[in-house]
Each structure stands twice: as structure tokens, then as C-alpha cells.
Structure 1
Amino acid sequence: MRILHTMLRVADLDKSIDFYTRILGMTLLRKHDYPEGKFTLAFVGYGREEENSVLELTYNWGVEEYELGTGFGHIAIGVNDIFKACEDIKKSGGNVIREPGPMKHGTTIIAFVTDPNGYKIELIQE
């Protein structure tokens, strides 16, 4: 068994695909419209779905905003150079909401960014 994907509902699919591909360096793996259901699914990730867990971005046609709720925490991504990653994200127009530094009560170096929908992504120095 393995985790296949995590689904996020997004309000602007093009903006979300741009963020995850251009700013975070993922690849758009596939995208399909479902006209009868009035939604589009786009799958993005760092490798093929057969070998990696990916994100499913779900756009429900006509929905412009979602409440994020209090149950969801964040997505975590390992990076080789967290300081460079944050600088690159800022230069690309991304939003770093916590600069790189040790986690509270620990030594792991982390940072946080948000995607266009407000979802938090934790960057962890590998």
C-alpha cells in the first residue's frame, strides 16, 4: 500500500497549476475536464504517479472561494537548500509566510509558504 494523492479544492485552477509547477517546480502530470460533473481535475507532482504521491487539484466550475477550515494543516516538501528555495519562491512571486529557521522546540530547519488558495506548504531542509 502507498498514498496515491492528496486532493485540494482550488478556486483558480490556472493560478494553482502555475504556483505548483513554476514556483514549486512540480510537473503537470495530467488534466481532465468533466463537463457533466462541472469540475476539472489536475494532477501535479515531482515524479510519475506510479512511483510518487501527487497532488490532485480539484476545480469545481464556478466556485471562487473555499473556507480552509481548521482540520487541514499543511503539505510538507523536502528541499536541499531551504534558503535558496525561499529566495527563488519570492523572486517568482510566491508568498513566504515564515522565513527559514529552526522549528519551535527543535532543530529542524523549516519555512512556510502559501499557495494562491491559502493552503500552507512547509519546506523542510533535508
Structure 2
Amino acid sequence: MPLTLIVSDGVLPEANMPSTIQRLSEAFLRLHGLAGNKVLTPNVVGHVQVVPKGRTFSGLMPTDVAVVEWLTPSFAFTSSEIQKAYVREATDIVYEACGGSLPRTNIWVNVKHAVDGTWGISGVAYSNSELGEALSLG
């Protein structure tokens, strides 16, 4: 499950990047009941994309921002409870990691779902049902 954290340069201290990705990932796993899952945990990957100052925008104006973006199978983030809890927790995690310098109004959380059958791990394309079955074994 790829996680991308997009931040304007200078918003998130470099020293906080690893723990921020870890905390965002742990929240995803915990809220989905998959904390410690031996199949999924090694396949939760993340990166921080730092965008130069003046190249992130909100309200049509250059603005410092942070965007938490997941790409997941369509069976993830399906319940309203998980969606609301994750958005709240992810916003808190990023806000804290930025030392409170980035307003919560400038932190967004997005989820994109992959097309069924195109979830590739180690060169194997899994359908949602195949991936779900593998996760149940972990």
C-alpha cells in the first residue's frame, strides 16, 4: 500500500520524516485491524515528496501544504468510521510532526483505489479477493 506524504519545503523537519511515515502507516494498519499482519506490513511502503517553496498552492495562491495520499485496494478505507478516524489521526500526526507550524487547514488526506486485479507485489498481480485471502493468512 503506497503512502505518499507531499509537503512544501521547510514544513516538515527532515528528522521527523521517518517517524511521520511510520506513524501514518501504523494508524492505517491499526484502524483496518491489520497491525502486525505479516503479509501486509512489509508491503506498506511510503515516501516523502518535498516540493520547493512557491510550488504548492491553495486558494490559487502559493501556500505551504501537506497532503497524505494512499493508494490502496478498493476494500481499504471503505467504512465511514475508518475514514473519519484516519483523517483525524493523520491530520494530528502531520500537525505534530510539523511542530504546529502548519495550520490544520493546510493538511489534506486523500485515498485512491487501485483497479481490481492490478495490485502488484513481487511481480504478481493480485485481485482483491486474492489479496484479501493472502492478508487473512498473515
**Which category of TM-score, normalised to the shorter sequence, fits these structures?**
0.3 to 0.5
By percentage of residues, which structure has more strand? 1
By percentage of residues, which structure has more helix? 2
Larger RCO of the pair (alpha carbons < 8 Å, separation 6+): 2
Give the structure-2-normalised TM-score: 0.30
Give the structure-1-normalised TM-score: 0.32
